[in-house]
Amino acid sequence: MSAHPDSAAVGAPAVLAEVKPAVLPRPVLVANNRNYTWITDKICSLIEGPTPTWWWVCFIVAIFVASFTIAGLTYLVGTGVGVWGHRSPVNWAWDIVNFVFWIGIGHAGTLISAILCLLRQKWRTSINRAAEAMTIFAVACAGLFPLFHVGRVWMAWYLFPISNANAIWQNFRSPLEWDVFAVSTYGTVSVCFWYVGLIPDLAVLRDRFTLAGHNLRAWLYGLFAMGWRGSNRHWRNYEMAYLILAGISTPLVLSVHTIVSFDFAVSLLPGWHTTIFPPYFVAGAIFSGFGMVLTLMLPLRAIYHLEDLITQYHIDNICKITLATGTMVGYAYAMEFFIAWYGSNPYEGFAFINRAFGNYAWAYWIMITCNVITPQFFWFKAVRQNTTLVWVLSIFVNVGMWFERFVIIVTSLARDFLPSSWGYYSPSIVEIFTFFGTFGVFSTLFLLFIRFLPIMPMAEIKAVTQQADPHGGGDRH
Amino acid sequence: MSKAYGIIAAFDDTREIFQACEQVRDAGYTQWDALTPFPIHGLDRAMGLRRSKVPRLSLIGGIAGFCTGMALIWWTGAADFRLIVGGKPYFSPMFAFPISYELSILFTAFATILGMFFLNRLPMHYHPVLKQPQFARATSDRFFIVIEATDPKFDAARTRALLVQAGGKDIVEIEG
Amino acid sequence: MSAPVPPPPAPRSDQALYVGLAGIATTGFGLMFSPLKMVAFAWLVGVMFWTAITIGMLLLVLIHHIFDASWSTIIRRQYEHWLSAFKWLALLFLPLLVLSWMPRHSGLVWSWMDPATPLPGGHGTVGTDVLYVKKSAFLNLNLFTIATIAFFAVWVFLSCKLRKHSFAQDADGDAVWTLKNRWWAAAGIPLAALSLTFASILWVKSLEYHWFSTMYGVWFFSNCVRGALSMGVLMMLWLYHRGDYAGLLNRNHLHSIGQLVFAFTVFWGYVSFSQYFLIWNANIPEETFWYNLREQGDWYWVGMLILFGHFFVPFLYLLSYKHKVVHAWIRPIVIWVLALIFVDICYNILPAIKDARGDPLPFLSLTLLWSLTAVIGVGGICVWAYLRSFPTTKLIPIRDPRIAECLVYHESSHE
């Protein structure tokens, strides 16, 4: 038993002699005590091996689904934004719902890579790469909706402060303008973070392809590996940079969804203007993102036999975070309802009664069931250990969070202050196709990712194995 | 034959390279490096390296981003083209905050990544150790120490002896 | 290796008790100079300040267990000792409850308790105020009393469970105590979250019952945790310099807790900014009046002090690694944070005392003095409770499954 006191030459305090920890081993992060070589081979083999048949099948299906988005958007550009179902008073609907939905999914990726990195949760290493990829692809899908909702998409550069012929500037008082900056910063920083994480692994692939004589592939991976050679002088700066990126990504991910919530909360509309929106949206985003992580990782784990790298412990943790954030979202629902009553504003009170019992009540109760009740199953170990059930529940989470945005956006707009202007919104077929297709866009990108890039950060996984501790943490010493 | 770049020695696990690094450090070498497939805890200190300077660059980036945001919104709204929108003031740090905040993060990220590349002198697609056939394992499962010939204490025979004594295997000289 | 160093003698607790009693007595003495209302408000500030910190410690222990954390094992035992203060805090809250039940003084602190309280500006009384009538199902004395008892019951109960299990483990070294505490942490976090939210609504927000904000519970939570972390740092340093923690505490422990102080500074800033910003931007009178009142007189400067002192100063200060790990650097900032939590709580409570025109009475006043003496009084009792519990167990949880990991906790250090 040795301690590392600040000042040298202090005798060990007497209490140290009594320290005799109870035995409660921590779960191992890489099961079956796999060594470095196994980890490298396992992850690289997914790229080096022949393309599996299932991949082609999925890829073709994904491309087919993605074509719906392309068709929908082409039709929209050719005809006008009126092909979507928005009518006064509901001028924001599926487009913004889908935008917030996809952005929210992206947030789990940043959360896993950044916040869990800062909290030193080492279990993140098995899932962070895929989760970060998910972030980038989700942000890409999210960006499509507001971009095309502006109507004349070729004028989208008006959103950026580039001086134009009218000599007026963007309205920086508008949360929509903040969104432009938030989402583009988020996309850029996520790509940077992802790429920095990839560099050491690209070097691994470069070296393996060089040995195997695949010169073109070695050259391509080598180009992006930047000449990485694992120098410890480099690792020192690299680790610091990675930590800083994690450090800034954490407030970034919070701010992005905060600003998304500002889109609603700075307005005066009952049901939108409430001060808890920022943390509530962030909790919801993390919740939906972790749902999506489960949806994506569980099939991958089964197909690629990654049980040694994504262990039951990983699944347990993701389920628990889903439970925690789902319950936080439940807290926010309750708080909104309570304060709507406590605030005694009749419009606010009506907005909430209308949500629960009005003509969109079906959406509200789907939301409550999926977001508040579904995660409560994760209290039970038996549920968490049943992978199929966890996967099914994760789908419910995804559905529930889509409905949450739908409920917030559409119910408040459809029933605003004047009964004479009330309306009922239904999506048009173009809208439905466009949204449906984004799942194809997302899947296509994700399939390309798992085919061509290492789906797990090899260097980071090796660093959390027991044998990586030079001071004898493992049983080898 | 071109001039030697240095001597490379291989090690099999983290404990070996850790102790070897301490020995090389204590022998007074400065122009040398450890090549590892992943960052090893405490190896910086074993090599006698100081804390990274990346944070300073990041901080500069962050401050620059924040000022850019505030200046942009002040100049466009309160100086270049004054326009009342929504009854809000021409300029207020309140509504300028979200964008300034995002820009400070964006600029911090750029400063951090570019700073890391700059401090590491990357990209460098050609490097003598990359030519070494056994090096391929340095990114996978083996650990290496390279002592460069430019080090003032470098002496082919004595340096090799030090690496042997430190437990190095497959010791070879590499050409520059 | 040198011979084991015996621990220094256990600290004496009676001095803290005397300080506490003196503080309470001085606050009581204030009745000779100030009306009962001012002293009662000051007392509320004192009780809220320490209740917030103690709730924060409860949360940190719960969070420690739910995360299966290792480094915080070193400070957890101190938090557990401090949690014994909850029953005393309940006792110290009692005068406010008693006052509420006294027909003559009901409505003195929480104006809605007495329907006859006149509204500022001559707009009738609370009893005829439609905004009160609508809320009266929640804001009434019976529910207030039951809820107050329930909050303290939850906190005392959770503290007892956590303490008992942790102390029992010292004796038999059974890992099952850790598992039990983990279970209670999972159950306790929702309970603690709800109780602290509604405590903040009932005890503080309802002082100005017209105002509402869904963020309020989250704001209170952030101050609770900041206070608890700051007290944690002070306890660590105190025990280190007394000699107890010598050889146990290393700079990585301080770095980790310092990072949390930093993180919650950001979180507090985020929550407070969001609340202010949304109200500022929407500009609805029924919400903005709360902040408008706080721009009157010297309260404006208090607001500025909070903005800069409670966020920017600790934020910039704690960016540096050195400021988180060097004792002489981290100590002043956590004291500063504690002082600003006091100011923040004053900012939320004291402007509810209005003059005849409905403007808040100034911050710099006798009420502030009595608030300070109340903080000293209640604080003395809390410290006394902590010191009384301190010698009853080992300094650190010697049989905790993570204690060895905690003691060799390092990021990059190697002997």
**pLDDT tens digits along A50-100:** 999 999 999 999 999 999 999 999 999 999 988 998 888 898 989 999 999
The answer to whether the beta carbons of residues A108 and A288 sit under 8 Å apart is: yes
Any idea where the domains of chain A sit in the sequence?
32-463
> What would the two tokens of residue C6 be?
């015996």
Mean pLDDT of B35-50: 87
Q: What CA–CA distance (Å, rounded) separates C290 from C310? A: 20
pLDDT at C414: 31
Q: What is the mean pLDDT of chain A?
A: 88
Contact (CB<8Å) A5/C214: no
* Same-domain pairing of B40 and B58: no
Strand partners, C125: C118
Residue C257 CA from chain centroid, whole number: 17
Q: What CA–CA distance (Å, rounded) separates C52 from C83? A: 12
Query: Which chain B residues touch A208 with a CB distance below 8 Å?
Result: 136, 140
B97 interfaces chain C, CB cutoff of 8 Å: yes
Residue of C138, C266, C403 with shortest CB distance to A342: C138
Residues 6+ apart with CB under 8 A from B121: none
Cβ under 8 Å to B: A residues 291-330: none
**Predicted confidence (pLDDT) at residue C71 exceeds the cutoff of 70:** yes
Q: What CA–CA distance (Å, rounded) separates C154 from C165? A: 17
Query: Which chain B residues touch A231 with a CB distance below 8 Å?
Result: 33-35, 120
Q: What CA–CA distance (Å, rounded) separates A387 from A307? A: 11
**Predicted confidence (pLDDT) at residue C4 exceeds the cutoff of 80:** no
* Same-domain pairing of B30 and B11: yes
* Same-domain pairing of B64 and B110: yes
Query: Which chain B residues touch A236 with a CB distance below 8 Å?
Result: 39, 44, 49, 52
pLDDT at A11: 61
* Same-domain pairing of B165 and B115: no
Mutate to test the interface with A, among B21, B31, B49, B54 (most CBs of A within 10 A): B54
Residue of A167, A248, A463 with shortest CB distance to B105: A248
Contact (CB<8Å) A169/B18: no
Contact (CB<8Å) B42/C273: no
Whether the bond between C360 and the residue before it is cis, its omega within 30 degrees of 0, is: no
Residues 6+ apart with CB under 8 A from C26: C373, C376, C377
Q: Phi and psi of B84, rounded to 5°? A: -85, 125
**Predicted confidence (pLDDT) at residue C224 exceeds the cutoff of 60:** yes
Q: Which residue has the higher pLDDT, A110 or A365?
A: A365
Q: What CA–CA distance (Å, rounded) separates A85 from A79? A: 14
B44 interfaces chain C, CB cutoff of 8 Å: yes
Mean pLDDT of C194-205: 95
Judging by beta carbons within 10 Å of its beta carbon (0-12, 13-18, 19+), is residue A72 exposed, middle or buried?
buried
**Closest by alpha carbon to A362, among A444, A424, A320, A421?**
A424
**Predicted confidence (pLDDT) at residue A13 exceeds the cutoff of 90:** no
Using DSSP's 3-state secondary structure scheme, residue A289 falls into: helix
Mean pLDDT of A170-175: 90
pLDDT at A2: 39
**Predicted confidence (pLDDT) at residue B64 exceeds the cutoff of 90:** yes
Mean pLDDT of A467-477: 58
Query: Which chain C residues touch B44 with a CB distance below 8 Å?
Result: 412
**Predicted confidence (pLDDT) at residue A224 exceeds the cutoff of 60:** yes
Report the C-alpha dihedral over residues A16, A21, A25, A30, rounded to 10 degrees: 0
pLDDT at A87: 85
Residue C358 φ/ψ region, left for φ over 0, alpha for ψ in the -120 to 50 degree band, beta for the rest: left
The answer to whether the beta carbons of residues C401 and A22 sit under 8 Å apart is: yes
Strand partners, A87: A90
The CATH code of the domain at A32-463 is 1.20.1630.10
Query: Which chain B residues touch C283 with a CB distance below 8 Å?
Result: 87
pLDDT at B129: 82
**Closest by alpha carbon to B175, among B127, B143, B138, B124?**
B127
Q: What CA–CA distance (Å, rounded) separates C78 from A454? A: 45
**Predicted confidence (pLDDT) at residue C1 exceeds the cutoff of 50:** no
pLDDT at A476: 33
**Predicted confidence (pLDDT) at residue C109 exceeds the cutoff of 70:** yes
**Closest by alpha carbon to A273, among A325, A222, A223, A347?**
A347
Using DSSP's 3-state secondary structure scheme, residue C97 falls into: helix
Q: pLDDT-derived band of residue A7, with 50, 70 and 90 as boundaries?
A: very low
Whether the bond between A25 and the residue before it is cis, its omega within 30 degrees of 0, is: no
Give A397-406 pLDDT, tens digit per residue.
999 999 999 9
Neighbours of chain C (3+ CB pairs under 8 A): A, B
Strand partners, B10: B144, B169
Give C10-43 pLDDT, tens digit per residue.
888 889 999 999 999 999 999 999 999 999 999 9
Mutate to test the interface with A, among B18, B99, B100, B132 (most CBs of A within 10 A): B99
Mean pLDDT of A209-216: 88
* Same-domain pairing of B99 and B130: no
Residue of C273, C283, C412 with shortest CB distance to B45: C412
A173 interfaces chain B, CB cutoff of 8 Å: yes
Range of the structural domain that residue B96 is part of: 54-119
* Same-domain pairing of B59 and B102: yes
B136 interfaces chain A, CB cutoff of 8 Å: yes
Strand partners, B172: B8
Contact (CB<8Å) A223/B83: no
> What would the two tokens of residue C244 be?
């107890």
**Predicted confidence (pLDDT) at residue A168 exceeds the cutoff of 90:** no
pLDDT at A113: 78
Mutate to test the interface with B, among A40, A183, A214, A236 (most CBs of B within 10 A): A236
Give A239-268 pLDDT, tens digit per residue.
999 989 988 888 898 899 999 999 999 888
pLDDT-wise least confident of B140-154, C53-67, C157-171: B140-154
Residue that terminates a domain, selected from B73, B93, B119: B119
CA–CA min distance C385, chain B (Å): 41
Residue of C281, C283, C414 with shortest CB distance to B42: C414
* Same-domain pairing of B114 and B62: yes
**Predicted confidence (pLDDT) at residue A6 exceeds the cutoff of 70:** no
Q: What CA–CA distance (Å, rounded) separates C390 from C12? A: 10
pLDDT at C2: 57
**Closest by alpha carbon to A135, among A96, A63, A183?**
A183
Report the percentage of chain C scoring pLDDT > 90. Answer: 74
CA–CA min distance A328, chain B (Å): 25
Classify strands B143-148 and B32-35 as parallel, antiparallel or unpaired: antiparallel
Whether the bond between C6 and the residue before it is cis, its omega within 30 degrees of 0, is: no
pLDDT at C88: 96
pLDDT at B116: 94
Highest mean pLDDT of the ranges A282-286, B153-157, C263-267:
C263-267
* Same-domain pairing of B69 and B92: yes
A8 interfaces chain C, CB cutoff of 8 Å: no
Contact (CB<8Å) C395/A274: no
Using DSSP's 3-state secondary structure scheme, residue B148 falls into: strand
Count of domains observed in chain B? 2
Q: What CA–CA distance (Å, rounded) separates A407 from A404? A: 5
Q: pLDDT-derived band of residue A388, with 50, 70 and 90 as boundaries?
A: very high
pLDDT at A111: 79
Helix (DSSP H) and strand (DSSP E) numbers for chain A:
18, 0
Query: Which chain A residues touch B58 with a CB distance below 8 Å?
Result: 244, 248
Give C154-186 pLDDT, tens digit per residue.
999 999 999 999 999 998 888 899 999 999 999
Tell me the residue type at A324: A
Q: What CA–CA distance (Å, rounded) separates C396 from C387? A: 15
Strand partners, A202: none
Query: Which chain C residues touch A11 with a CB distance below 8 Å?
Result: 1-5, 247
Query: Which chain B residues touch A219 with a CB distance below 8 Å?
Result: none
Size of interface B-C (CB pairs under 8 A): 21
Strand partners, B143: B11
Mean pLDDT of B59-82: 94
Kindly state the DSSP code that residue B71 receives in the 8-state scheme.
Answer: H
Residue of B35, B77, B130 with shortest CB distance to A169: B77
* Same-domain pairing of B63 and B107: yes
B84 interfaces chain A, CB cutoff of 8 Å: no
Q: What CA–CA distance (Å, rounded) separates A62 from A92? A: 28
Residue of B51, B59, B94 with shortest CB distance to C280: B94
Residues 6+ apart with CB under 8 A from A79: none
Q: What is the mean pLDDT of chain B?
A: 88
pLDDT at B2: 58
Mutate to test the interface with A, among C176, C212, C396 (most CBs of A within 10 A): C212
pLDDT at A32: 74
Mean pLDDT of C380-403: 93
CA–CA min distance A232, chain B (Å): 5
**Closest by alpha carbon to C49, among C378, C294, C383?**
C378
Q: What CA–CA distance (Å, rounded) separates A86 from C157? A: 53
Residue of A230, A237, A459 with shortest CB distance to B119: A237
* Same-domain pairing of B110 and B65: yes
CA–CA min distance B63, chain C (Å): 12
**Closest by alpha carbon to A374, among A445, A290, A451?**
A290
Q: What CA–CA distance (Å, rounded) separates A427 from C261? A: 47
Give C83-101 pLDDT, tens digit per residue.
999 999 999 999 999 999 9
pLDDT at C410: 62
Give A319-343 pLDDT, tens digit per residue.
998 999 999 999 999 988 898 999 8
Report the percentage of chain A scoring pLDDT > 70. Answer: 96
**Predicted confidence (pLDDT) at residue A23 exceeds the cutoff of 90:** no
Q: What CA–CA distance (Å, rounded) separates C356 from C351? A: 13
Q: pLDDT-derived band of residue A472, with 50, 70 and 90 as boundaries?
A: low
Terminal C-alpha separation, chain C: 14
Q: What is the mean pLDDT of chain C?
A: 91
A268 interfaces chain C, CB cutoff of 8 Å: yes
For CA atoms B125, B128, B131, B137, give the dihedral sign. negative
Q: What CA–CA distance (Å, rounded) separates C376 from C366? A: 15
